[in-house]
Chains A and B, each alone.
Chain A
Amino acid sequence: MTTSYRQAAHDAIRDAMRADERVLLIGEDVGRYGGTYAVSKGLLAEFGETRVRDTPLSELSFVGMGIGAALGGLRPIVEVMTVNFSLLALDQLVNTAAALRHMSGGQFSVPLVVRMATGAGRQLAAQHSHSFEGWYAHVPGLRVVAPATVPDAYGMLATALADPDPVIVFEHVGLYDTAADVDELGASDIDTAAVRRPGSDVTLIAYGGSLPKALEAARLLDEDGIDCEVLDLRVLRPLDAATILASVRTTHRAVVVDEGWRSGSLAAEICTRIVEDAFYDLDAPIARVCTLEVPIPYPRHLEQAALPSAERIVAAVRAVVGVRP
């Protein structure tokens, strides 16, 4: 049966709410409007205004309220419309949600799930298109996940809700309309990276909205006889370094794809891990394909030029593979 990423994300929330009455959905326009990206459409009708709560435009307060609600025994899912708006709530996420357990000496865990849309590609310009996953992945005390597939769009939510700590879920806007044939959706872990395409010549490391681009690049390169292994990070914090290193140790080459800006990026962290722990396994320098260091522009041709693309990934792989050890 064909299911879209949007439908999977919707079903995950619906099923979590059916399974546990402590689960509630809080956010801007999640109820009557049906969700900015239509993920929560229909949930208000099924669960009512007590459990599907349209908030005022008060990110700082409703995210912080999610923390308190989690402490009080509820299992809130807080939706922030886009990652850019989440900066208005950064204080609560970083200074409270992430720090509370450690600074209270282990007394208070925060079982909060925050979902937000991220990424570019829809000509939404410089205040609705950024990728700050790497910022959140910098913070101890948070778990950060980026479901890139339909099964993960469904399966990671229940696991995130069952987790005792705050989990930030990034849903790339370019993925909502993607679809896959899946027989049955079920829970998936929020600990490991996954090999989405096995290969032997080079490891492509991607996450979220960059995964389809990496897979497309791998398909194009396959026609040239270059066999790419494509690794989906899935979890951005804590990083599954073991899976990354195991792959690189077999292919001896790596290209990291990250829709964040290159400087100080998650891609930089991954490269460093590889260099620290698998330097002598490498046959070539690692390459990165990141977003160019500009605020995302509005016109389509400029936006596309700024973002990682299958073409740019292909070029990076060719350069890396062209290096003779």
Chain B
Amino acid sequence: MTTDASGLLRDMVRVRRLEEKCAELYGAGKIRGFLHLYVGEEAVAVGALRALTADDAVVATYREHPHALLRGTSMASIMAELYGKQEGCSHGRGGSMHLFDAEHRFYGGNAIVAGGLPLALGLALSDAMQRRRRVTACFFGDGAVSEGAFHESMNLAALWHLPVLFCCENNGYAMGTALARSQSQPDLAARAASYGMPAEAVDGMDVLACRDAACRGADHVRGTGEPFFLEFRTYRFRAHSMFDPQLYRDRAEVDEWRTRDPIGLLVDRGRREHVLTDADLEDAERRADSEIADAVAYAEAGTWEDVAHLDTDVLTREVLR
């Protein structure tokens, strides 16, 4: 049942340690701007992305370091991007919220809530019209469900039979506004189903459940060319961004969710089923720390883009004069 347990554990630990390092580097002034961390939600990206193949595309949000990393973008180039160095995966131009990686079909890194959904539709449309059996996985938060772009996109995806795997990362808060305070119908899977597409709610703290649901969803999308909606019910343990004093939620609520830490849940289950040991956890941590140390060294050694290049890549074809 718990196949790939050590692999899943390694990836969740990689993500957790990376994000914690980012918080530390933010405090040290190495990373600036807005920084949104994924701590607590690791099971979602790690589990869901197991369902994709190298040909598939991913569209994500501004809380997307894990998605880029798990799709194959090197941690070094992610870290360099967070530093703003030109060795970064977006040449330093984007920063934390705008990681991009064409080689791995990673389409960002979108800091407009629900802004990625229409783009995912278009990628899926191009696959459908060019007869490619590929999946476009589109990640977005519960806050996106309030946006018009969400509803327009749900309707279009179902109406036009677009092969999109919608992955709603429902962490219970649109920044600081709780789901119940912003949604007339807080069952987001039910809302998606109202558009005529299959939809499931998943325990977003259970990486195996996330993986299995995503595999069902991706199989459906690939097999039928139709969209599929997954609502991952998860929780972010840290602040929304580094500027958030968290006035909107009780410490007790955070502590309660922390008892369901996705890494702890997997480790406990793995021990019970004798597929994980303490040594696996230690090994995962050691590997992650080593990868992170290398990434930080790479970012530190990175270089700043020459200001003279500032206006390159605004347009592809240079202006005549």
A contact set with B: CB distance below 8 Å = 24, 50, 53, 55-56, 58, 60-74, 76, 91-92, 95-96, 100-109, 140-141, 143, 163-165, 191-192, 238, 240-242
Once the chains are docked, how many angstroms separate the CA of A100 from the CA of B109? 10
Report chain B residues within 8 Å CB of A74: 122, 125-126, 129-130
Decide if B121 touches A61 in the complex (CB within 8 Å).
yes
Determine whether B159 belongs to the interface, using a CB cutoff of 8 Å to chain A.
yes
Across the interface, A71 reaches (CB within 8 A) one of B107, B117, B152, B313, namely B107
In angstroms, Cα B124 to Cα A104, docked, is 20
Whole-angstrom distance between the Cβ of B52 and the nearest chain A Cβ = 16
B277 CB within 8 Å of chain A? no
A-binding segment of B96-104, B198-206, B210-218, B278-286: B96-104
A70 to B122, CA, bound (A): 7
Per a CB cutoff under 8 Å, which of A50, A70, A91, A241 touches B321?
A: A241
Q: Is the CB of B155 within 8 A of A69?
A: no
Interface size class of B (residues with CB under 8 A): 35 or more
Q: Could you say which residues of chain B place their CB within 8 Å of the CB of A107?
A: 90, 100-102
Interface assignment of B120: CB less than 8 Å from any CB of chain A: yes
Partner of A68, one of B90, B124, B130: B124
The A-contacting residues of B in range 83-135, CB under 8 angstroms, are 86, 88-94, 98, 100-102, 107-110, 112, 115, 117-127, 129-130
Given contacts A65-B122, A103-B98, contact A72 B127 (CB under 8 A): yes
Closest residue of chain A to B108, judged by CB?
A104
Q: Given A68-B125, A74-B125: A95 and B149 within 8 A (CB)? A: no
Complex CA distance for A105 and B316, rounded to whole angstroms: 11
| Residues of chain B lying within 8 A (CB to CB) of residue A50 | 129
Contact, CB under 8 Å: B110 / A61: no
The binding surface of chain A is classed by DSSP as mixed
Least CB distance from A225 to B in Å reads 34
The answer to whether B117 and A64 have CB atoms under 8 Å apart is yes
**Complex Cα gap A69–B117 (Å):** 12
Tell me whether A141 and B314 are in contact in the complex, defined as CB-CB below 8 angstroms, given that A61-B152, A72-B127 are known contacts: yes
* Shortest 8 CB-CB contacts between residues of A and residues of B: A68-B122, A64-B118, A105-B91, A72-B126, A61-B152, A58-B152, A104-B100, A69-B122
Contacts of B94 in A (CB 8 A): 103-105
Provide the residues of chain A in CB contact with B129, threshold 8 Å: 24, 50, 74
Q: Who on chain A is nearest to B119 by CB?
A: A68
Give the distance in Å from the alpha carbon of A241 to the alpha carbon of B117 in the complex.
Answer: 38
CB–CB A65/B321 < 8 A: no
Is the CB of B252 closer than 8 A to any CB of chain A?
no
Closest beta carbon of chain B to A237's beta carbon, Å: 10
* 10 chain-A/chain-B pairs, Cβ below 8 angstroms: A64-B121, A65-B121, A65-B122, A67-B119, A74-B122, A91-B115, A92-B115, A105-B313, A107-B100, A241-B321
Determine the chain A residues whose CB is within 8 A of the CB of B314 once the complex forms. Answer: 101-102, 140-141
Q: Are B118 and A92 in contact (CB under 8 A)?
A: yes
B102 near A72: Cβ-Cβ < 8 Å: no
A278 to chain B, nearest CB (A): 15
Which chain A residues lie closer than 8 Å to B112 at the CB level?
Answer: 91, 95-96
Q: Check if B320 is an interface residue, CB within 8 A of chain A.
A: yes
The chain A residue with its CB closest to the CB of B315 is: A165
> How far is B118's CA from A96's CA once the two chains are assembled, in angstroms?
10
Residues of B within 8 A of A73 (CB): 126, 130
Q: How far is the CA of A24 from the CA of B108 in the complex (A)?
A: 25
Residue of A nearest to B154 (CB): A61
Q: Are B123 and A61 in contact (CB under 8 A)?
A: no
Q: Which of B101, B118, B312 contacts A65 (CB 8 A)?
A: B118
Q: Are A61 and B153 in contact (CB under 8 A)?
A: yes
- A-chain residues with CB within 8 Å of residue B320 when the two chains form the complex: 191-192, 238, 240
B122 touches A64 (CB 8 A): yes
Q: B156 on the interface (CB 8 Å rule)?
A: yes
